Structure 1
Amino acid sequence: MDPVAALRWQRRDVSATPWLHEEVASRMVERLKWFREPPSSWMHWEPVSGGLEAHRRIRSQLPDAPCHVAAQRLPQALDATRESPASAWNPLKWGRGKSPQAASEATRVRMLWANMALHMEPKPQTLLKRWNAHIETDGFLMFSCLGPDSLRELRAVYAEQGWPAPSHAFTDMHDWGDMLVHSGFAEPVMDMERITLSYSGAEPLLAELRGLGRNLFADRFTGCRSRHWRARLLDAIEASLPRAPDGRLLLTFEIIYGHAFKPVPRVAMGPSTTVPMEDMRAMLRGRKT
C-alpha cells in the first residue's frame, strides 16, 4: 500500500457508527495477518467507538483467544461485544473463547487493540504507559489515530473566517514513535495514508465530525455559538471546501497506523527496587537464552 495515496470514497452521509472508524479498523485487521504468531489473548480498548465489525472479525480469527474489554462506558461495551445466542448454540464454538470480560488494572494480554482513540487523549503518553502495563512481555500494541494533515480543508475555512481552529493539532507519526519508546515499547513500526471522504453538503459533514470525537484545542470558543454563527459556518463550508467532479464536498483525513512490542524489561536493581513478578520471570527467561 502506498502510504501517501489519497483514497476517495463515495459513501452514505451519516451512520450510527462512524464509517471512518470501521474502515480504519478493517485495514488494521488486515495488518494483523502480518504477525506469524497469533496472540493468545487480547484487549479491545473502547470497542464501540473503535469498530464492532472489526471486533467480530478479530474474534473470528482468534476464536480461542480470551478477550477483555476496556471502556469508559463498560456495560454498554460488554453488551455490544457479547456473543449472540446463535453462537452459543453452535457446536463448532463450544469450548472456545467466551464472551469478552471486563478488563481490570491487573489484566495482562498478548495484544492490546486500540482503534482511533489515541488522538482523543489529552495526556497520550500517560495512556501509552497504561497500555504498556496491560501487555505481557513480548506482546504487542496495535493502534491507529488521526494525523496532522486531517481536516486541512476545514482548517483553511476557519482561518479565512478568523475563527479558532476546528480541532486540536494532531501528532505526527514520528513523534508517536518517540513516545512509544519513551513509554517502554520497542521496535515501533509506523505508517500512514490519506483518506478523502465526500459529502453531499455541509450538514452531513458536520454530523459526521460530531460522531468522530471532540475538540481538545485549548483556545477554542468556550461559549455556546448562535444560530447565526452556525448559518455562517454552513455557508462558509459550502462556499470554500473543495468539491469532487460530481459536486460533493471533500474532506481529508490522515490515518496513522502503528504497532510496537513490549520488550523484556531492563531494571537497574537497588536495595529498594520493586519489580512485578511477571517482569521478574521475563528477565530470568531472557538471561537463560
Structure 2
Amino acid sequence: MSLSDSSLTPPTLDVRALARWNHRAPAQSPWLHEEVGRRMQERLQWIVKPPQTWMDWEPVRGGMQAHDLVQQRLPKSQAWLVHAQAHHAQAAKQRWQTSVWSRLAGAKAVQFQEPPFEVDMVWANMGLHWAVNPPALIRQWAEHLHAQGFVMFSCFGPDTLVQLRRLHANMGWPAPAQEFTDMHDLGDMLVAQGFAEPVMDMEHIRLQFATAERAQQELRELGRNLHPARFAGLRGRQWHVQWLQAVQGLANSEGAIELNFEIIYGHAFKAPPKMKVAQETAISLKDMRQALQKPVP
C-alpha cells in the first residue's frame, strides 16, 4: 500500500476491523478514559450557565465514573445516554437504572435513548478518535444541540504512543496504532460543522509500566490496532516474544517503560443559524430568536 494512499491520512482506521472491535469491545471503561473524564469534568466549573439537559455519548466505554462525576456536578440536570452497541446500552441500564426509592427522593431518572429535543450540552469523552469520519460525528453532536448549546469532548492526539511508533519504525514493523487527528484540524472541523470559536488545548499523560506485559495489557484495554496498513496476518509466538523484549528495551534507568498519550480537549458553542437574505425573505420567529441569541462564553 502506498504511503500516499488517502486511507493513510488521519484518522487511519480499517472500517471493517473497527466494526468488529465495536461489537466486541468490553462493556467497561479503561482507566485512562476515566482519568481524562475526571480532568475534563473539572472544566465545567468555568461554564457560566450550567446545562440543564445533556447527552453523554458512549459513556460505558468513555467513562462510567466520569459520568457520575458530571452528574454530581450537575445534580439538577437531566441526562440522556447514547450507545450504538446493544451490550453497552444494557450495561448502562444495569448501572444507572434509577430505583423507585431514588425517584421518590427526587432524583431525575437517566434516559437511555437519544433526547427528543435539543439539549444544552453534548459530553463525549475519549470517543472521537474512533470515528472513521470525524466531521460526520461532530455534525451529529451539533444536531442534538440548540443554538446556545455546547460540546465538550476529548480524544487522543498524534503524539500518542510516540515511543512505540519509533520502536516499530526502527524494527521495520507496521505502525502499532492508527494515526490520530491533529488538534488544529479538529478545530477546523468544529467550525465547518456549525460550531463557533472552538477552544482547543492538549496535555501529555505519561504512564509508566513495570513490564512490557503490563504495558500490553493497558493498550489492549484501550482498544486494538486498526491501522489499515497493519500486519495483514496473525503474528506467531516468536514475534510476540520479540515484541515484548523490544518494548522492555524502552525501560529507563529505573526500569520503567514510559508511554506517552497526547490528550486533546475541545469545547465549542453551536453557532446561531445563518439566514439567507434575498430580495424578499421570510424568517420564522424561532429562527429570528436563535439568530439574535449569542452563545455565553
Report the TM-score, using the length of structure 2 for normalisation: 0.81
CA–CA distance in structure 2, aligned partners of residues 80 and 189 of structure 1: 35
Matched, 1:79 2:93: yes
Question: CA 1:164 to 1:244, structure 2 compared with 1: closer, same or farther past 3 Å?
Answer: same
- The 2-side partners of 1:288 and 1:157 are apart by 52
Instruction: Note the 1:58-137 alignment, pairs <5 A.
Output: 58-74=70-86, 75-83=89-97, 85=99, 88-89=100-101, 94-103=105-114, 106-137=116-147
Cα separation, 2, equivalents of 1:121 and 1:222: 22
Q: What is aligned with 2:18?
A: none
Q: Give a deviation string over 1:168-217, Cα, whole Å, max 9, x none.
A: 11111111111110111112001111111011211111111111123332
Q: Match for 2:192 among 154, 178, 182? A: 182
Q: Distance in 2 between matches of 1:282 and 1:201?
A: 58
Is the contact between residue 108 and residue 135 of structure 1 (CA under 8 Å) also seen in structure 2? yes
> Distance between the aligned counterparts of 2:32 and 2:79, measured in 1?
24
Query: Which residue among 254, 258, 265 is the counterpart of 1:257?
Result: 265
The equivalent position to 1:243 in structure 2, one of 230, 252, 258, is 252
Name the residue aligned to 1:38: 50
- Give the conservation status (yes or no) of the 8 Å contact 2:147–2:293: no
Contact map agreement 1:147 1:253 (CA 8 A) in 2: yes
Shift of 1:135: 1.1
Q: Using the TM superposition, give the Cα deviation of residue 80 of structure 1 relative to its aligned residue in structure 2, in angstroms.
A: 4.6
Following TM superposition, by how much is the alpha carbon of 1:141 offset from its aligned partner in structure 2, in angstroms?
A: 0.2
Query: What residue ranges of structure 1 are gaps of 5+ in the alignment?
Result: 1-15
Partner of 1:209: 219
Contact 2:169/2:175 (CA < 8 Å) preserved in 1?
yes
- CA separation in 1, counterparts of 2:275 and 2:173? 49
- Is the 2:34–2:64 contact (alpha carbons within 8 Å) kept by the matching residues of 1? yes
TM-score, normalised relative to structure 1: 0.83
Which runs of 5 or more structure 2 residues have no equivalent in the other structure?
1-27
Counterpart residue type for residue 243 of structure 1: N
- Kindly indicate whether the alpha-carbon contact (under 8 Å) linking 2:159 and 2:260 is maintained by their aligned counterparts in 1: yes
Residue range with higher mean Cα deviation, 69-78 or 127-136? 69-78
Amino acid at match of 2:265: Y
Aligned: 1:52 with 2:64: yes
Amino acid in structure 2 at the alignment position of 1:187 = E
Deviation at 1:227, TM superposition (A): 1.4
Q: Is the 8 A contact 2:60 2:92 kept in 1?
A: no
Give the distance between the partners of 2:293 and 2:130, measured in 1 at CA: 41
Tell me the percent identity.
45
Contact 1:198–1:244, Cα closer than 8 Å, also in 2? no
Query: Cα 1:116–1:166, aligned 2, differ >3 Å: closer, same or farther?
Result: same
Partner of 1:33, secondary structure, is: helix
Show CA shifts across 1:73-111 (max 9, x none): 2432432541464xx5358x733421233116x542110
Aligned-residue CA RMSD in angstroms?
2.5
Count of aligned pairs? 264
